[in-house]
C-alpha cells in the first residue's frame, strides 16, 4: 500500500469529526467526544447526543433533515471550538474587550458560554450566507447596465460565487494558525479511513491513510455552492433579475432546500462506491488540498483517542 493512499474500506461509518484548536471533535451515533492536547496532556470531554431531528420526526424527512443536520452540526462544532480555545495559551498582553467585560458583568459563567456560543453560530451562519450568496449577487449588479438577459447575469453571478469560494479557501489555508487546525483535519480523515479499513487504530496504520475523505465538510460546502448555482440559474430566469432585493430574498428562501439537496447528494455519494460516484467526488477531494494538511504523530494520537471514544459497542450501529 503506497504512503498516503489508504486501502479499500470494508464499510462506511457515519462517524464524523471536526478539527479544533489543538484537538478534534468526533461524533458517533449516540455520543460525541472532544479531545484536546493541552500543556498538561490530553483533555477529554464526552457527552451523549440527541439530534434535533430525532426529537421531532418531521425534521427527519429527506431534504429537510439536511438543513437541520447542518445547523445542529454547526452549533455543536462552535461549542466544541470554544471548549478547545479555553486550553489554548492566552496572550497575557492582550486586554479583554469591552464586550468580554460586559458579558462577565451581566451573566454567569454557564449563561455567558451559551450566549457567546449562540452569537458565534449566528455570526458564522450570517457570514457564510453573506459571503457566498449575497455578495456575489451584489457584485453582479454592477454589470447589469451592460447586459440584457437574465442568463448573462446568472452566468456572471455564478462565476463570482465560485471565485469567492475558491479565494476564501486559498486565503484561509495560508494562515499559520489555521494550518495546524488543518493538520488536525487531516488526522481526523486518516483515522476514520483506518477504522473503515478494519485496521487496528495505531499511529502507524493511520499515517499510511489518505487525508482526502469523500464525506468531508469541504466537499459538502462545494456541493452547496454548485447546487445554488444551478438553482439560481433556473429560478432567477423567471423573476425580475435586475431587482437586487428580490434576488436577496430568493437566496434566503432557497437556502433550506439547497442545503437539504446537497446533504442528500453527499449522503448518496458517500454510500456508494462506483466509477460514477468517484467521479462526482473528485472536485471535493481536490479542494481538500486547501483544508487538510499532513498531521504529525501527536495529532494522530488525538484523533485515535477521540474516535475510540465514540465507536458504538454494538457492531454496525454506526454504518453509513
Query: For residue 178, is pLDDT > 70?
Result: yes
What are the Cα distances from residue 28, in Å, to 14, 192, 306? Answer: 7, 11, 10
Provide the percentage of residues in the chain whose pLDDT is more than 70.
Answer: 90
| Nearest of 307, 308, 299, 311 to residue 42 by alpha carbon | 299
Residues 6+ apart with CB under 8 A from 266: 215, 219, 220, 223
pLDDT of residue 288: 94
pLDDT of residue 258: 94
Average of per-residue pLDDT across 255-280: 88
pLDDT of residue 124: 86
Residue where the block lists cell 449588479: 141
Which cell numbers hold the place of 281? 467526488
Query: For residue 252, is pLDDT > 80?
Result: yes
What are the Cα distances from residue 238, in Å, to 138, 147, 149? Answer: 19, 17, 11
What are the Cα distances from residue 50, in Å, to 28, 29, 30, 54, 320? Answer: 11, 9, 7, 7, 18
Which cell numbers hold the place of 156? 456572471
Q: Which of 150-159, 219-228, 265-274 has the lowest mean pLDDT?
A: 265-274
How far is residue 57's CA from residue 72's CA, in Å, rounded to a whole number?
A: 15
Query: For residue 197, is pLDDT > 80?
Result: yes
How far is residue 210's CA from residue 10's CA, in Å, rounded to a whole number?
A: 15
pLDDT of residue 1: 34
pLDDT in tens, 7-28: 667 788 999 999 999 999 999 9
Query: For residue 6, is pLDDT > 80?
Result: no
pLDDT of residue 51: 74
How far is residue 187's CA from residue 195's CA, in Å, rounded to a whole number?
A: 12
pLDDT of residue 172: 92
Q: Supply the pTM of this predicted model.
A: 0.86
Average of per-residue pLDDT across 71-99: 75
Residue 3: band (very low, low, confident or very high) from pLDDT cuts 50, 70, 90 = very low
How far is residue 312's CA from residue 319's CA, in Å, rounded to a whole number?
A: 10
Residue 203: band (very low, low, confident or very high) from pLDDT cuts 50, 70, 90 = very high
The mean pLDDT value of the chain amounts to 87
Amino acid at each position: 500500500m503506497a504512503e498516503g493512499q489508504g486501502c479499500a474500506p470494508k464499510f462506511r461509518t457515519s462517524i464524523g469529526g471536526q478539527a479544533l484548536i489543538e484537538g478534534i471533535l468526533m461524533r458517533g451515533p449516540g455520543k460525541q467526544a472532544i479531545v484536546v492536547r493541552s500543556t498538561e496532556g490530553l483533555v477529554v470531554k464526552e457527552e451523549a447526543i440527541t439530534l434535533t431531528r430525532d426529537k421531532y420526526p418531521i425534521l427527519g424527512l429527506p431534504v429537510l433533515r439536511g438543513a437541520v443536520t447542518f445547523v445542529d452540526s454547526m452549533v455543536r462544532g462552535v461549542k466544541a471550538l470554544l471548549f478547545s480555545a479555553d486550553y489554548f495559551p492566552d496572550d497575557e498582553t492582550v486586554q479583554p474587550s469591552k464586550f468580554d467585560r460586559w458579558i462577565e458583568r451581566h451573566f454567569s459563567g454557564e449563561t455567558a458560554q451559551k450566549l457567546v456560543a449562540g452569537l458565534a453560530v449566528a455570526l458564522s451562519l450570517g457570514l457564510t450566507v453573506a459571503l457566498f450568496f449575497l455578495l456575489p449577487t451584489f457584485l453582479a449588479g454592477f454589470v447589469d447596465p451592460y447586459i440584457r438577459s437574465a442568463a448573462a447575469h446568472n452566468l456572471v453571478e455564478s462565476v463570482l460565487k465560485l471565485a469567492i469560494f475558491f479565494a476564501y479557501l486559498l486565503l484561509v489555508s495560508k494562515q499559520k494558525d489555521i494550518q495546524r487546525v488543518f493538520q488536525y483535519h487531516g488526522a481526523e480523515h486518516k483515522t476514520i479511513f483506518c477504522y473503515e479499513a478494519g485496521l487496528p487504530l495505531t499511529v502507524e496504520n493511520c499515517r499510511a491513510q489518505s487525508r482526502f475523505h469523500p464525506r468531508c465538510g469541504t466537499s459538502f460546502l462545494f456541493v452547496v455552492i454548485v447546487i445554488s448555482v444551478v438553482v439560481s440559474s433556473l429560478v432567477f430566469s423567471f423573476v425580475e433579475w435586475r431587482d437586487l432585493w428580490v434576488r436577496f430574498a430568493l437566496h434566503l428562501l432557497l437556502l433550506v432546500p439547497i442545503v437539504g439537496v446537497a446533504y442528500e447528494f453527499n449522503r448518496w455519494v458517500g454510500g456508494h462506491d462506483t466509477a460514477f460516484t468517484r467521479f462526482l467526488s473528485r472536485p471535493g477531494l481536490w479542494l481538500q488540498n486547501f483544508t487538510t494538511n499532513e498531521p504529525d504523530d501527536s495529532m494522530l494520537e488525538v484523533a485515535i483517542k477521540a474516535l475510540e471514544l465514540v465507536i458504538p459497542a454494538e457492531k454496525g450501529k454506526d454504518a453509513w
